[in-house]
């Protein structure tokens, strides 16, 4: 039967032996959870493009010369629905519809509709099946479909993953510099067990630093202590009252897109309140005069005022940096917040979500994150196969695995 122990090799240091055992134990303990978290993470990277593709029929319009007022669109929404609006999104493309979103956490009621910006009429609702799929995927990713204890399990498994990534680098590190080429190369034409061994070690090394960053930023959403610790380290002064309020109300910050969360999560059907959307929109364009999608977040759990947000990409990295204005119900300007004017702690926390999800630089970072998460998904599988075939299974399989390890070692020595 497989065992969690192995004999220490003659040329193996005690430190590396302990790291190897710890790597094995932690991997077997958290493997299933990490597999689920990385798999769902790789799916969620492309949530918005997939959602847009499925909703293209109702989200696409024929451009015309003049647009109607956003106030008219708001009025048409309330003619058809009573649930207070939580968010309105105006895309940059001329052939894209305005998106209106509202939800009620207690009742589970949700409204997600598109409006023609040239006529003001409501076109249709989004694809409910796609929303349900990604909503379920997110719940798996964050708390394994079990709120409370599931979130804690995911958080602890993420901490374990961080230690495993560091331990993996130690185990991967070659004894001699001339062996570096061997440990950086996958022998694609090798037999299955040798190929599996290379995939775990080589791809694990290439992805380790990226996965470490993703996992570390993920802790921000799992543990209040991590959130407050990061903010304090970056210079924020957090009182006990502020920490308690933040921990109670906390949700993903700085998200670029998406139909989940946001101020649209209303807890009750409040009386209908209309806002001076068009006036606020024009103020936004005057204060932040660059081309960007606009998201309007209505007063709710996180915002006391109506917020109009844009994304500034005029920086060296081309990152989507959130900037916004706040207005009152009548459309009077209350605040203009540019990213460059934020203190360091808020600069980081305002983009922590897109930093974690890969949306921070659009398609290039999303593709990179998908590759990293795909490798992360494979590591528990390839690692389990290495352990199982090394210490368990048939005698023949064990001998083949030992030959594979010996062959790898001879190649490294020969190089």
Task: Render pLDDT for 331-353 as a digit per residue (tens, 0 to 9).
Answer: 999 999 999 999 999 999 999 99
Give the pLDDT band (50/70/90) at residue 316: confident
**Per-residue pLDDT at 302:** 76
Instruction: Tell me the C-alpha distance between 29 and 9, whole Å.
Output: 24
Q: What is the pLDDT of residues 63-78, one digit of tens each?
A: 999 999 999 999 999 9
**Per-residue pLDDT at 266:** 46
Mean pLDDT over 102-107 rounds to 91
Q: What is the pLDDT of residues 367-399, one digit of tens each?
A: 999 999 999 999 999 999 999 887 665 444 445
Give the pLDDT band (50/70/90) at residue 254: low
Tokens 């993996």 belong to residue: 168
**Per-residue pLDDT at 10:** 78
Higher pLDDT, 403 or 43: 43
pLDDT greater than 80 at residue 229 = yes
pLDDT greater than 80 at residue 6 = no
pLDDT greater than 70 at residue 19 = yes
Instruction: Tell me the C-alpha distance between 212 and 231, whole Å.
Output: 19
pLDDT greater than 80 at residue 270 = no
Give the pLDDT band (50/70/90) at residue 400: low
**Per-residue pLDDT at 11:** 80
**Kind and range of the H or E run holding 90:** strand 87-90
**Per-residue pLDDT at 404:** 56
Give the pLDDT band (50/70/90) at residue 252: very low
Helix (H, G, I), strand (E, B) or coil at 384: helix
Buried b (16+ CB within 10 A) or exposed e, 158-184: bbbbeebbebbeeeeeeeeeebeebbe
Which of 27, 279, 315 has its CA nearest to residue 163?
A: 27
Q: What is the pLDDT of residues 171-215, one digit of tens each?
A: 998 887 777 888 899 999 999 999 999 999 999 999 999 999 999
Helix (H, G, I), strand (E, B) or coil at 140: helix
Angle subtended by helix axes 240-249 and 224-233, to nearest 10: 130
Q: Where are the alpha helices (DSSP H) in 234-362?
A: 240-249, 277-287, 344-349, 352-357
Higher pLDDT, 117 or 256: 117
Number of CB atoms found within 10 A of residue 153's CB: 17
pLDDT greater than 50 at residue 235 = yes
Mean pLDDT over 288-311 rounds to 93
The count of residues in the chain is: 415
User: Average pLDDT over the chain, rounded to whole?
Assistant: 88
Q: What is the pLDDT of residues 208-227, one digit of tens each?
A: 999 999 999 999 999 999 99
Give the pLDDT band (50/70/90) at residue 8: confident
Burial class (CB in 10 A: 0-12, 13-18, 19+), 365: buried
**Per-residue pLDDT at 395:** 44
Instruction: Tell me the C-alpha distance between 292 and 309, whole Å.
Output: 9
Mean pLDDT over 230-247 rounds to 66
**Per-residue pLDDT at 49:** 96
**Per-residue pLDDT at 402:** 56
| Backbone torsions φ then ψ of 241, nearest 5 degrees | -65, -40
**Per-residue pLDDT at 263:** 56
Mean pLDDT over 149-162 rounds to 97
pLDDT greater than 70 at residue 25 = yes
Q: Percentage of the chain surpassing pLDDT 90?
A: 73
**Per-residue pLDDT at 9:** 80
Instruction: Report in angstroms the alpha-carbon separations of 127 from 57, 124, 134, 137.
Output: 10, 10, 11, 16
**Per-residue pLDDT at 367:** 98
């Amino acid at each position: 039967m497989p065992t969690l122990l192995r004999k220490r090799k003659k040329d193996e240091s005690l430190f590396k032996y302990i790291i190897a055992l710890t790597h094995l134990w932690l991997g077997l303990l958290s493997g299933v959870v990490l597999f689920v978290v990385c798999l769902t993470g790789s799916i969620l990277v492309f949530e918005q493009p997939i959602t847009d593709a499925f909703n293209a029929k109702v989200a696409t319009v024929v451009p015309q010369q003049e647009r109607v007022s956003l106030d008219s669109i708001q009025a048409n929404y309330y003619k058809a629905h009573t649930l207070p609006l939580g968010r309105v999104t105006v895309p940059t493309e001329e052939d894209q519809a305005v998106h209106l979103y509202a939800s009620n956490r207690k009742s589970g009621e949700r409204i997600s509709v598109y409006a023609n910006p040239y006529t003001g009429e409501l076109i249709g609702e989004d694809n409910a099946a796609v929303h349900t799929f990604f909503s379920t995927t997110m719940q798996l990713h964050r708390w394994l479909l079990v709120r409370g204890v599931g979130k804690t399990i995911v958080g602890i498994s993420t901490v374990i993953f961080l230690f495993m990534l560091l331990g993996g680098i130690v185990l991967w590190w070659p004894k001699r510099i001339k062996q570096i080429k061997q440990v950086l190369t996958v022998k694609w034409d090798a037999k299955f067990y040798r190929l599996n061994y290379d995939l775990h070690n080589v791809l694990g090394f290439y992805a380790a630093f990226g996965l470490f960053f993703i996992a570390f930023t993920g802790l921000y959403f799992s543990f209040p202590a991590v959130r407050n610790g990061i903010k304090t380290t970056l210079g924020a002064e957090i009182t006990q009252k502020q920490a308690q309020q933040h921990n109670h109300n906390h949700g993903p910050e700085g998200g670029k897109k998406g139909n989940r969360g946001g101020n649209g999560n209303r807890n009750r059907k409040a009386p209908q309140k209309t806002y001076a959307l068009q006036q606020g929109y024009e103020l936004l364009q005057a204060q932040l005069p660059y081309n960007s999608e606009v998201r309007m977040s209505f007063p709710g759990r996180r915002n006391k005022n109506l917020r109009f947000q844009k994304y500034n990409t005029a920086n060296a990295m081309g990152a989507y940096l959130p900037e916004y204005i706040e207005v009152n119900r009548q459309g009077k300007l209350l605040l203009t917040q540019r990213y460059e004017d934020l203190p360091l702690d808020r600069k980081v926390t305002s983009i922590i979500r897109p930093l974690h999800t890969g949306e921070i630089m659009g398609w290039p970072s999303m593709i990179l994150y998908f590759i990293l998460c795909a490798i992360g998904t494979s590591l528990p599988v390839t690692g389990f196969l290495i352990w199982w075939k090394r210490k368990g299974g048939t005698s023949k399989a064990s001998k083949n695995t030992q030959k594979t390890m010996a062959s790898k070692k001879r190649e490294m020595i020969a190089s």
